[in-house]
Structure 1
């Protein structure tokens, strides 16, 4: 026999879903996958100009990376002229990374500040906490930045002046993993840096590569704009683990309310499967908005949270309405008279 539909849990469930949609997609910056024209252009004299959609990256892991790990020596130099005002915060100018969550080295811009990501002993997988050099960039000015790592020492100079010096944990460069060398954007794109480069070089022990030279990087005319939306597992930071826990807790009321939409309550497994369908829809929608990320781990814990909510539904209902007959409870003789 089909159960009786109840209205209040349905309305409450719709309210919870509305909150989940708001949390999942806010600020609703529409950015669906699509083919785009590459804004990377070469000017007379060899400079490269970058816009909102940039694709200039190495075909794979650079050949010099094993030498960096072995000899613990690395130097990067670039000459950049950013375009002001900046459209996005913390945009990458030069990057050596596997994806948005695993960065070996990165030079970026945040307003007039230079931002340095560096994976090292004690850092996160994405090279945080970052180093910041204030007031490194100015409007219309070509800025020369040089980053040097020698074993356990970091030096950053801006226009020839030493602006940052820091000790590093011993063997920090051995923590570097595989990755691509990228100019003007993230590995898969998403937040393009706007400006010009007239020099971008990486020097290692016995070698130097000019990444503005023709053929040094892959620069297609058009490409599929599909920023990274699928987070890796396991989570790469304590913050990501905390968010995973919040996903678990947030779907307990979802499971509870789905189960309560019927009297007697929907069984736990069908409840969890319905909640999983909702979670899949929310995750798929994140591919349509900027800086929204989904994860397989999120779906797993959301399923478990809804399963827990479905399991709690019947006991809580019995506690709230102790005189209501349970699912398979037979009426007493007095009730039939």
Structure 2
């Protein structure tokens, strides 16, 4: 399927964009780090069951197979969510969205630390800038919140963005023969253990504070199955094929799906500024992916021309 990468990109964006609604519901009655820990524990259990049903090899056999498990589990899942949820205690959601929008800016810099460094062209850099502007416009943060936020909260959310980008870079460079589902199962288990430990370390986290309402359980189920097991499985499949720089552009499409989901499910208004943000993100994508778009248009033209000749 020629357009599989595009379809998977949109599926991950949709899964993680709609996850914002479920997260809001779950956080009403569950402590943040505990919420994330249980979410990834369930996702890991689901993936282990899937790997067993597929008769995939479950156990890593070499250091090379443990590298992506540990780097992805610790950075992409554990550290990222621990910093993000802790930081969101001090900053507005819009500020957090803007800070996470820096992931596509941070990632190209981090790739220079690796042997297989990706390069972002000047035009691509302009595209990334357009995308970031689009995120800012959609998030529409109050300037007083953006510049007056608790410095600790800003630092923690920014650290979560760095951790996510670093996890993508390190995981992409690691080569493993372990099946993808098994790798993801172990990765989520490592992240879940890290987050469970975090719940004991953070003074405001407590298992006793959890209230298991029906809404919380439903949100947890959605985040574990769709955004957790499904979303991360597709994310790492995508990372392996297009690399950390291009996959980081998810952070520009996720707010689009979050805004659309809020409009459809919660009755939130799509303002003119939101539409402008969509347009800015679209322009950014065209600039970053202009080579792939030109190649696809050439294939389409060639296909039609060949088809016409065949018909004659």
Bin the TM-score by the shorter chain: under 0.3
More strand by share: 1
What TM-score, normalized by structure 1, do the two folds share?
Answer: 0.24
Higher relative contact order (CA 8 A, sep 6+): 2
More helix by share: 2
